[in-house]
A and B are shown apart, each in its own frame.
Chain A
Amino acid sequence: MNVVEMNAITKYFGEMVANDHVDFDLRKGEIHALLGENGAGKTTLMRILYGLYKQDSGGVQINGKAVQINSPKDSIANNIGMVTQHFALVPPMTVAENVILGHTNRFVLDYDAAESSVADAARKYGLDINPRAMVRHLSVGQRQRVEILKALYRNSRVLILDEPTAVLIPQEVDVLFETLRKLVDDGLSVVFISHKLDEVTNITNRITILRDGKSIGTVDTCDMSHNQLAALMIRQASFHVNNKIAEIKKSRSLLNIKSLSALDDQGLPALRDINLTVHTGEILGIAGVSGNGQKQLAETLCGVRNCTEGEIKLDGITLNGKTAGEFTTSGMGRIPEDRLEGVVGELTVQENLALEHLYQFSNKGFLNHKAIQKHANELIVQYQIKARPGDRIRTLSGGNVQKVLLARVLSTQPKIVIAPQPTRGLDVGAADYVRQQLLEQRNRGAGVILISEDLDEILALSDRIAVMYEGKIVGVLDASEANPERLGLLMSGAVKEM
C-alpha cells in the first residue's frame, strides 16, 4: 500500500503555476527521488505535503485515508517529517531544546529527562549527536543530523529531505546515505529531493521527474541511465534567434582566468581551480545545474566577491584584488543576475541609467539633470525601453527593467560582458531581444560570458561551451561538437571532458 498519495496537486504563486496537476505516491520502505531542475516545483510539492503551503486543488491521502493538511501540526500528527533546505533550527539553543521544541507535554521542562531521551533516540537511529551541544557550534552536517533526529523523535514514518546533500562534503554524504539505508530497513519511507543524477541513482528505488511544475512520470531507478534521466529532466524549449553566426573576426584571447577559487557566503568552497579563456568576438556559454558555482563565478569576475586563489587577467591587466569599481572601469560589464538588485525601484529610469557612472553627470557634487535626461532619452530609443525617463523603475515590467540594465552596462562598451541568467523570467519577445543584444556585443568584438541553465539558449548562442559542476569546470566543448545529451552528462557530474 502507498504510505502517501498526492493526486493532481496544483499550486499557483500569483500568476505562476508551481505545480500543475502533479501526481505522486510513496511506498512503504522506499527511497523515492523527486528529480528536476531548480524551479521545477519539487520543493513546492513537498512543502504542500508538510503543510507549509496549501494547494489550490488536488488531494492528499495518507495510508489510504484522505486527509486535510493545513499546517505542519497536521502533517506531524500524520507522522510526516521534513528537513527543509534552510534548517528549521534555533542556533542559540541546545540540541535537546531544539528536538523537544513543539514536542513536549510538560509545561515545566525537565532538562535531564529531555537530554537523556534525546540521547537515547540518537543512539537508536545511529545519529552521533551530543544533546547538550549548542546548535550554533555545530557543523552543517551535524545540524542536518539534528534535523533528522527531530523528525524521528516525533515518530515520523515519512521523512522528506530537501536537497540534503547540497551543503554536505562528500564524506558527510556517505554518512547520510548510510543513515537513510538504515531508516528504510526499519520501515520508514524517504522522499529525496535532488537535482544531482549520480546521488539519485545511487540511493533511490524510484524517481519522479518534475519539469516546469509538471510531472514527467515516475520510473524505477534501476531501469534508467544518466543519459535518459538528464534528457527527461532538462527542458527542451525552442526559440528563434536571428543569424547565429555573423562573421567572426578571428580573435585573440581577452580574458584569462587561471586556477580561480572562491568561497560562498557560508564560507564553503564555491569555485575550485577554474581555468577559462575568453576571446574577442566570442560567446562563451557556461552550462550547469544551478547552484554549482555559476553565481559565485559571475560575482568573482566582476569584483563583488573576492577570490581566495588564482588570477583574473583582462587584456593583460591583473584585476584580482581590485575593487568592483576598478573592474568596471577596466572593461568588465555585468548584467546583474537578480534584476531587482541591480536597480533602485524607487528611483526613475533616467536616474537608474546614470547610477553607475554618476561622475560623468555631476559637477562638484551637484547632478546635471539635463545631461542625465539627454543620456536617458538616447538609451531609451536605442534599446527600445518602453518607459519615459521620469518613470519609476518599480512600475516597469521585468523585460523593460532588463533593457534598462542592458542599456546601462552595454552603453559603456565593456570589453567583457558577463550575463548570468539574462533571460530568466522574461517572456519570449523580451528574451529574444536580450539574446540578440548579446550577439551584437559579440559581433562588435566583445567577449561575452553567458551563464544559463537553459541548455537550448546555451547551444543556440555560444561559440564555446564550458560546463560547471560543483564549482569546477568539468568540460569545455566547441559549439559544433556539443549536444544536449553530452552536456547533460557533464552537468550531472558523471563524466569529465577536459
Chain B
Amino acid sequence: MEVFFINLIAATFRVSTPILLAAIGETFTERAGILNLGIEGIMFFGAFVGFFAADLSGSLWFGLFLAVISGVLSGLLMGLFSVSLGVNQHVSGLGITVLLTGLSLFGFRLQYGGRSTPPSIEPFQQINPFANIPILSTITQQYLLTYITFLVIVPLAGWILYRTRYGLHIRAVGDNPEAVDAAGVNVYAIRYSTLAIGGGLIAAGGAFLSLAQLGAFSHGIVSGRGWVAIAIVIFGNWIPLKVMFGALIFGGTYALQLRLQAMGLKLPIPYETFLALPYVVTIIALVVAGRNASYPAALLKPYRRE
C-alpha cells in the first residue's frame, strides 16, 4: 500500500506537468483579458512540431525549442484576430484550435503516412537528484522539465505577475484597459506579449507529452488537456500557485484512475469508466471553487479607443 501511494505521488507530478505548463500560459493571457481557446490546438501543434523536429534533427531539445516557437507564433496569430481585429475571442480561439489540429494531423500524414508501425523517438530521460535516499528517490525520479515547471516556471510566473512593472500592467490590462491606456501604456503590446508567452508555455506542455511522456505522437495525445487547463485556471483564481494545486488535483486523479484500471478490480462497471474520473473531479472542483472566482473584469472584451 505504501508503495502504491509513493508511486502515485511520483506519477502525479509527471502527469500534472503538461497541464500545469498550459494552465500557467493561459493564466498569463487571461490575466491580460484574453481567453485563448486556441489552447487545445496549440498543445496539439506543440506536441506535433516537437516530435517532428526532434525526429528529423535527432535533438529533443531542438524539438522542444521549435515547439515553443510554434506556440509563440500561434499566440501571436490569436493576437492578430482577437487584439488587432477585435474578433470575438471564442470564435478566434476555437478557429485556431481547429486550424492547428488539422494542420498537425495533415503534417503527420505527409511525413509518416505510409508506415505500418507508429513512429517513435527515444524520449527525454528522467533524472534523480536524490537517487540514494530510499522512499524519496521514487518521487524525485522525474523529468528535468517537470523540475523546471514546478520549481522555476510557477514561482517565476507569480513573481512576474505580482512583483514587476510588467505584471502590474498585465493585471491592469485584464481588468480595466482604459486605465492602462490613459496611463500612457500600450494595451495592445501587453496583450500580444502575454499571448506570445502563453502560447510558448502551452506548446511546451504539448511537447512534454510527445517528447518526454510518450516518445511518440498520436491522434489522441492531448485528449482535452487544454480544456482541462482552462478549468484549472478558473479553479486557481488566476493565481499561479493555486493553479499549480489545481493541476495536481487533476494529475493525481488521472494517475489514480490509471492504477485503478490496471488493478483489474472486479466491479459491476466497465473499467473504462475510470477514464472519466479526472474530468468529473475537475468539474466538481470547478463548481465548488468557481462560484467565488473573480474573473478579470475585461476578459473577452476587445479594447478599442472608441
Residues in chain B near residue A98, CB distance under 8 A? 179
Residues in chain B near residue A73, CB distance under 8 A? 184-185
- Shortest CB distance A365–B (Å): 31
Interface size on B, residues (CB 8 A): 22
Look across to chain B and name the residue whose beta carbon is closest to the beta carbon of A89.
B179
A94-113 CB mask vs B (1 if < 8 Å, else 0) is 00011011111011110000
Q: A88-B182, A101-B185 are in contact. Are A106 and B165 (CB under 8 A)?
A: yes
Q: A92-B175, A107-B166 are in contact. Are A101 and B305 (CB under 8 A)?
A: no
Partner of B165, one of A53, A72, A88, A104: A104
Q: A88-B183, A89-B179 are in contact. Are A101 and B306 (CB under 8 A)?
A: no
Residues in chain B near residue A109, CB distance under 8 A? 163-165, 168
Complex contact A97–B168 (CB within 8 A): yes
Residues in chain B near residue A93, CB distance under 8 A? 168, 171-172, 175
Complex contact A91–B183 (CB within 8 A): no
Complex contact B175–A53 (CB within 8 A): no
Look across to chain B and name the residue whose beta carbon is closest to the beta carbon of A110.
B163
B131-163 CB mask vs A (1 if < 8 Å, else 0) is 000000000000000000000000000000001
Asked if A142 CB lies within 8 Å of chain B CBs, one says: no
The total number of A-B Cβ pairs within 8 Å is 79
Q: A90-B176, A90-B179 are in contact. Are A101 and B297 (CB under 8 A)?
A: no
Residues in chain A near residue B175, CB distance under 8 A? 90-93
Complex contact B305–A88 (CB within 8 A): no
Q: Which of A82, A89, A102, A104 has the most CB of B within 10 A?
A: A102
Asked if A52 CB lies within 8 Å of chain B CBs, one says: yes
Complex contact A52–B165 (CB within 8 A): no
Cα distance, A93 to B168, chains bound together (Å): 9
Q: Is the interface of A mostly helix, strand, loop or mixed?
A: loop
Complex contact A72–B183 (CB within 8 A): yes
Residues in chain A near residue B164, CB distance under 8 A? 107-109
Partner of B180, one of A77, A87, A92, A102: A102
Cα distance, A53 to B185, chains bound together (Å): 16
- Shortest CB distance A159–B (Å): 14
B176-193 CB mask vs A (1 if < 8 Å, else 0) is 101111111100000000
Look across to chain A and name the residue whose beta carbon is closest to the beta carbon of B174.
A90
Look across to chain A and name the residue whose beta carbon is closest to the beta carbon of B296.
A92
Residues in chain B near residue A50, CB distance under 8 A? 182
Q: A82-B182, A88-B183 are in contact. Are A52 and B305 (CB under 8 A)?
A: yes
Complex contact B183–A102 (CB within 8 A): yes
Q: Which of B168, B169, B182 has the most CB of A within 10 A?
A: B182
Residues in chain B near residue A86, CB distance under 8 A? 178
Complex contact B183–A52 (CB within 8 A): no
Cα distance, A33 to B63, chains bound together (Å): 64
Residues in chain B near residue A104, CB distance under 8 A? 165, 168
Shortest 10 CB-CB distances between A and B: which pairs? A102-B183, A73-B184, A88-B179, A88-B182, A102-B185, A90-B172, A90-B175, A90-B176, A72-B184, A76-B184
A-binding residues in B (CB < 8 A): 163-166, 168-169, 171-172, 175-176, 178-185, 294, 297, 305-306
15 additional A-B residue pairs with CB within 8 Å, beyond A90-B180, A92-B294, A107-B165:
A52-B306, A76-B184, A82-B182, A88-B178, A88-B181, A90-B175, A90-B179, A91-B176, A92-B297, A97-B168, A101-B169, A102-B180, A102-B183, A102-B185, A108-B165
